[in-house]
């Protein structure tokens, strides 16, 4: 493998090692980072000590390996007393935090925000990106709970290095093997090369998910929106340094790291939450699939079936939140979404003009790889100068980054319609 000369000069890499056989590979990973002039600090969980020696890792990293959460009550005279708040400093110190190997146990603790050792406590207090390399036996990896936990970590904005398929420590063949140190090194190197903090200091309000408009105590008018696109926007914007407020309709998705989330149910609640949180925002992105109609009346309790066989609900229009924002612009750039099944560009352009937007993102749920519930999207973006950019199918996280790129370009381009 050819390495770029000194590609990591000045980078601070925090490495977390939990108790798995693959921990031996992390010794080599530390050496690769050091060879590229990165500063490396290693945290081990107590069970990792069963697999590799802190003496080895200390020699390779050039720093004392950190294991204990609390200071030694009887430190030797020569040893500096560790602070019981060192997890806070470690979390602020790293440019990136790489957890390799991450066992099923450590992953589960991270998902539930446990802080029972120095590694998990540092995960909770870190603001830097966290890259997780799960490594375990195939049965543990494919266990439904572990796989849900990994999905939740990913949704929360942790980066996951997929384990490889091959011979496992148990002697069995399967998926769960930690990739070779060179592979993880390359992943982290590329990650740091592409990592942008271009939204530092920017305040962004994002809405996501559907709204539920109640008919009675058990029924509602809603839609199939999963909220994935809006959550990925919040995730990407937060990774890029923005201060993100996410207003979400009912959505079963984990909140991205460092994002402040407000849950709402109805379009009226979303409207109020948006009004209360829109002041001082640099950008407002309305990706929520707000219901266009709500039931005129709310029936307390559960309505009984009528004998006639038909059931009519009288509806009224909901407030168009985006239109309201377009009419009360207060310095924020306004980005809307349009879901169109025909004449996408034409209809979306109309919406952009009519709602006084700075940009609109359009997708067609009938196109393969786009729409509700999928992890991918196929989008076109129309800016305020009516330039149209259309993109191939990509993940919703990639689409989110493209939207954030365009949003900034569009904010910089001076021409107003
Ligand atoms: N929107 C909103 N408030 C509503 C309805 C929609 O803020 N009551 C926003 C959505 O968040 C989205 C944009 O308006 O950013 C477009 O929504 P869409 O439903 O596609 O279009 P509509 O303007 O409602 O028009 P139509 O349903 O006729 O296509």
Annotated catalytic residues are 223
Say yes or no: CB of residue 42 within 6 Å of ligand 1: no
Instruction: Provide the β-strand partners of residue 289.
Output: 210
Question: Are domains 12-194 and 203-303+310-413 of this chain identical in fold?
Answer: yes
- Can you give the pLDDT at residue 6? 75
User: How close is the Cα of 18 to the center of ligand 1, in Å?
Assistant: 47
Query: Structure tokens of 25?
Result: 């590979």
> CA 397, 400, 406, 409 torsion: positive or negative?
negative
- Can you give the pLDDT at residue 80? 53
> CA 44, 90, 231, 360 torsion: positive or negative?
negative
Give the span between the Cα atoms of 221 and 210, in whole angstroms.
10
Domain ranges of the chain: 12-194, 203-303+310-413
Three-state SS for 170? coil
User: How close is the Cα of 347 to the center of ligand 1, in Å?
Assistant: 11
User: How close is the Cα of 216 to the center of ligand 1, in Å?
Assistant: 24
3-state secondary structure 104-127: HHHHHHHHCCCCCCHHHHHHHHCC
DSSP annotation of 227 reads S
SS3 content of the chain, % helix, strand, coil (to 5): 35, 25, 45
Say yes or no: CB of residue 322 within 6 Å of ligand 1: yes
Mutate to test the pocket of ligand 1, among 351, 360, 362 (most ligand atoms within 8 A of CB): 351
Residue bearing the CA closest to ligand 1, atom 8: 320
- Angle, alpha carbons 369-372-374 (nearest 5°): 45
Tens-binned pLDDT, residue by residue, of the chain (417 aa): 554 557 899 999 999 999 999 999 999 999 999 999 999 999 999 999 999 999 999 999 999 999 998 866 655 544 454 566 788 888 889 999 999 999 999 999 999 999 999 999 999 999 899 999 999 999 999 999 999 999 999 999 999 999 999 988 888 899 999 999 999 999 999 999 999 899 999 999 999 999 999 999 999 999 999 999 999 999 999 999 999 999 999 999 999 999 999 999 999 999 999 999 999 999 999 999 999 999 999 999 999 887 778 888 999 999 999 999 999 998 999 999 999 999 999 999 999 999 999 999 999 988 999 988 888 999 999 999 999 999 999 999 999 999 999 999 987 775 444
Say yes or no: CB of residue 318 within 6 Å of ligand 1: yes
Mutate to test the pocket of ligand 1, among 222, 292, 319 (most ligand atoms within 8 A of CB): 292
Mutate to test the pocket of ligand 1, among 293, 321, 370 (most ligand atoms within 8 A of CB): 321
Widest CA span in the chain:
88
Q: Do β-strands 220-221 and 359-363 pair in parallel, antiparallel, or remain unpaired?
A: unpaired
Instruction: Choose the CATH number for 203-303+310-413 among 3.40.250.10, 3.40.50.740, 3.40.462.40, 3.40.50.10300.
Output: 3.40.50.10300
C-beta neighbour count of 258 within 10 angstroms: 17
Say yes or no: CB of residue 290 within 6 Å of ligand 1: yes
**β strands within 108-258, DSSP E:** 130-134, 159-160, 164-167, 173-177, 203-208, 213-214, 220-221, 243-248
The residue written with tokens 């990774």 in the block is: 239
Question: Which atom of ligand 1 is the closest one to the Cα of 336?
Answer: 15
The residue written with tokens 């530390």 in the block is: 30
Give the span between the Cα atoms of 242 and 255, in whole angstroms.
15
Say yes or no: CB of residue 335 within 6 Å of ligand 1: no
Question: Which atom of ligand 1 is the closest one to the Cα of 360?
Answer: 15
User: How close is the Cα of 203 to the center of ligand 1, in Å?
Assistant: 23
- Can you give the pLDDT at residue 78? 47
Three-state SS for 271? helix
Give the span between the Cα atoms of 262 and 245, in whole angstroms.
8
User: How close is the Cα of 289 to the center of ligand 1, in Å?
Assistant: 7
Give the span between the Cα atoms of 240 and 234, in whole angstroms.
10
CA atoms lying within 13 Å on the CB side of residue 370: 19
Give the span between the Cα atoms of 112 and 153, in whole angstroms.
10
User: How close is the Cα of 318 to the center of ligand 1, in Å?
Assistant: 10
The whole model's pTM is what?
A: 0.91
Query: If you count them, how many residues does the chain have?
Result: 417
Residue bearing the CA closest to ligand 1, atom 4: 320
Three-state SS for 153? helix
- Can you give the pLDDT at residue 417? 45
The architecture (CATH level 2) of 12-194 comes to: 3-Layer(aba) Sandwich (3.40)
Q: What's phi and psi for 263, nearest 5 deg? A: -95, 135
């Amino acid at each position: 493998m050819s390495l770029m000369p000194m590609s990591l000069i000045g980078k601070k890499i925090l490495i977390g090692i939990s108790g798995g056989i693959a921990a031996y590979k992390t010794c080599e990973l530390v050496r690769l980072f050091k060879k590229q002039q990165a500063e490396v600090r290693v945290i081990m969980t107590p069970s990792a000590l069963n697999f590799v020696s802190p003496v080895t890792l200390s020699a390779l990293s050039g720093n004392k390996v950190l294991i204990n959460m609390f200071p030694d009550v009887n430190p030797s005279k020569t040893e500096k007393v560790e602070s019981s708040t060192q997890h806070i400093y470690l979390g602020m110190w790293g440019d990136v935090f790489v957890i390799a190997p991450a066992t099923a146990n450590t992953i589960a603790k991270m998902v539930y925000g446990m802080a029972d050792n120095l590694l998990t406590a540092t995960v909770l207090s870190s603001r830097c990106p966290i890259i997780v390399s799960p490594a375990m036996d195939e049965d543990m990896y494919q266990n439904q709970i572990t796989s849900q936990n990994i999905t939740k970590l990913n949704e929360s904005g942790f980066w996951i290095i997929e384990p490889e398929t091959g011979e496992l420590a148990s002697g069995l063949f399967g998926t769960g093997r930690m990739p070779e140190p060179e592979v993880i090194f390359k992943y982290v190197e590329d990650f740091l090369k592409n990592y942008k903090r271009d939204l530092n200091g920017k305040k962004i309000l994002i809405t996501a998910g559907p709204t539920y408009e109640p008919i009675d105590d058990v029924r509602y008018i809603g839609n199939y929106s999963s909220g994935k696109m809006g959550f990925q926007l919040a995730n990407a914007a937060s990774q890029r340094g923005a201060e993100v407020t996410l207003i979400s309709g009912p959505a079963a998705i984990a909140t991205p790291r460092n994002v402040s989330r407000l849950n709402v149910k109805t379009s009226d609640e979303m409207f109020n939450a948006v009004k209360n949180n829109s002041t001082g925002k640099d950008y407002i992105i309305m990706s929520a699939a707000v219901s266009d109609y709500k039931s005129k009346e709310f029936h307390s309790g559960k309505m009984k079936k009528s004998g006639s066989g038909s059931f009519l609900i009288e509806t009224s229009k909901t407030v168009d939140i985006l239109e309201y924002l377009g009419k009360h612009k207060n310095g924020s750039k306004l980005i809307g979404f349009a879901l169109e099944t025909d004449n996408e560009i034409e209809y979306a352009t109309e919406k952009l003009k009519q709602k006084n937007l700075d940009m609109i993102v359009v997708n067609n749920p009938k196109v393969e790889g786009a729409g509700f519930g999928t992890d991918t999207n196929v989008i076109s973006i129309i800016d305020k100068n009516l330039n149209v950019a259309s993109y191939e199918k990509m993940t919703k996280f990639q689409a989110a980054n493209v939207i954030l790129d365009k949003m900034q370009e569009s904010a910089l381009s001076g021409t107003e319609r």
